[in-house]
């Protein structure tokens, strides 16, 4: 960790447990922000895989 991160951690440790939980929740939530380009690419990939499956080009990959 760099010095800024260490300073932030020290400040966060001074917060109440509830305030720290809220801070952690906010930080973790920021990591889940959507990326519209990535969503578009995954959607396209899923559509292509489904179409290939329906054309019989893919085998069933279910375990068992």
Q: What is the mean predicted confidence (pLDDT) over 2-25?
A: 96
61 within domain boundaries? no
Q: Per-residue pLDDT tens for 20-59?
A: 999 999 999 888 888 899 999 999 999 999 999 999 998 7
User: Does residue 64 have a pLDDT over 70?
Assistant: no
**What residue numbers bound the domain in which 44 lies?**
3-54
64 within domain boundaries? no
45 within domain boundaries? yes
Q: How many CA atoms lie within 13 A of 17 on its CB side?
A: 0
Q: Give how many domains the chain has, as a whole number.
A: 1
62 within domain boundaries? no
Is the Cβ–Cβ distance between 22 and 30 less than 8 Å?
Answer: no
């Amino acid at each position: 960790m760099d010095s800024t991160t260490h300073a932030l951690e020290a400040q966060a440790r001074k917060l109440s447990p509830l305030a720290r939980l809220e801070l952690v929740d906010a930080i973790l939530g920021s990591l889940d922000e959507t990326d519209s380009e990535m969503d578009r690419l995954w959607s396209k990939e899923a559509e292509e895989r489904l179409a290939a499956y329906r054309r019989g080009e893919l085998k069933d990959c279910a375990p068992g």
